[in-house]
Amino acid sequence: MAKWVTKEDRQKFYNSIEWQTAKENLFSVRGRKCEICGKTESIQVHHLAYDRFGGDELLTDLKILCGFHHMEEHGLIFNNNSRCVSLGLMYVDIVDDLVAGLLLSQIIYWYLPGKTGQTKLRILKEDRKWLAKRRQDWFDECRITIRQYVRAIKILEDMNIVVTKIFKFNGEPTVHISLNQDIFLGLVEKYLNNQLVENDDGE
């Protein structure tokens, strides 16, 4: 039974030829698409069990997922409603800032599928989906002040996690936010790969 107890060892394996070969073998059998939603973008491979982790995995130990469903498998998707805001520590760790992590958490909430299975965003411009919110709207939603928003959105832009542009929304110039999904999901994958394997059963 292989067990990696350091971040360095785990990252080394995920960067290895053995892991790349295992993934390609899996794709050749099942196809390069999410086994939950069928998407073919930002595809990742999830370990269902870790008792053979480190190069001895069976195909039954692995599952092909899109980035968002991979996050869900790890319990990193957080539900939301108008009176409750959930903050994932992963987001805070990724951006190394509490308020920027909260803002990112809310942006992700809007990008996640709704009850119909489709994204909640409806604005499509320049081949991108956009979230339109005024600065003061963020306070109503998650109590981020205008000053905090300005600082937090700059952190996300500097990390290239989001881009912002001003378009008209309901007749008014409004900041629109678009998530760079590949960059964000790449950061999520790096975060997950850096976590220690602490449970022999892969739970």
Domain boundaries, the chain: 7-75, 89-183
Residue 193: DSSP 8-state = H
Cross-strand pairs, 123: 130
Least confident of 65-69, 141-145, 196-200: 196-200
Q: Regarding the domain delimited by 7-75, which CATH topology (the fold level of the hierarchy) does it fall under?
A: His-Me finger endonuclease fold (3.40.1800)
pLDDT > 70? residue 179: yes
pLDDT tens for each residue of 143-164 = 999 999 999 999 999 999 999 9
Q: Which two tokens stand for residue 68?
A: 């968002």
Helix (H) or strand (E) holding 64: strand 62-66
- Comparing 85-89, 136-140, 168-172, the range with the smallest average pLDDT is 85-89
Is the pLDDT assigned to residue 30 strictly greater than 80? Answer: yes
Q: Do domains 7-75 and 89-183 have the same CATH topology?
A: no
Residue 90 · residue 76 · CB < 8 Å: yes
**Could you tell me which of 135, 161, 130, 163 has the C-alpha nearest to residue 149?**
135
Give the contacts of 125 (CB within 8 A, at least 6 positions apart).
165, 167, 176
Which pLDDT band, with edges at 50, 70 and 90, does 76 fall under?
low
* Mean pLDDT calculated for residue range 177-199: 80
Residue environment code for 80-114, b if the CB has 16+ CB neighbours within 10 A, otherwise e:
beeeebeebebbbebbebebbbbbbbbbbbbbbee
CA–CA separation, 128 and 59 (whole Å):
35
Under 8 Å between Cβ of 156 and 114: no
> Taking all residues of the chain, what is their mean pLDDT, rounded to a whole number?
83
Alpha-carbon distance 89 to 104, whole Å? 11
Q: How confident is the model at residue 194 (pLDDT cuts 50, 70, 90)?
A: confident
Contact 26, 59 (CB under 8 A): yes
Is 2 or 159 the better-scoring residue by pLDDT?
A: 159
Helices (H) and strands (E) in the chain, counts: 8, 6
Q: Give SS3 for 177.
A: strand
Contact 177, 107 (CB under 8 A): yes
60 confidence band (pLDDT: 50, 70, 90): confident
Say whether pLDDT at 180 is over 80: yes
Residue % of the chain over a pLDDT of 70: 84
pLDDT class of 71 with cuts at 50, 70, 90: confident
Q: Which two tokens stand for residue 88?
A: 């994932």
Fold of 89-183: Arc Repressor Mutant, subunit A (1.10.10)
pLDDT value of position 32: 92
In terms of residues, how long is the chain? 203
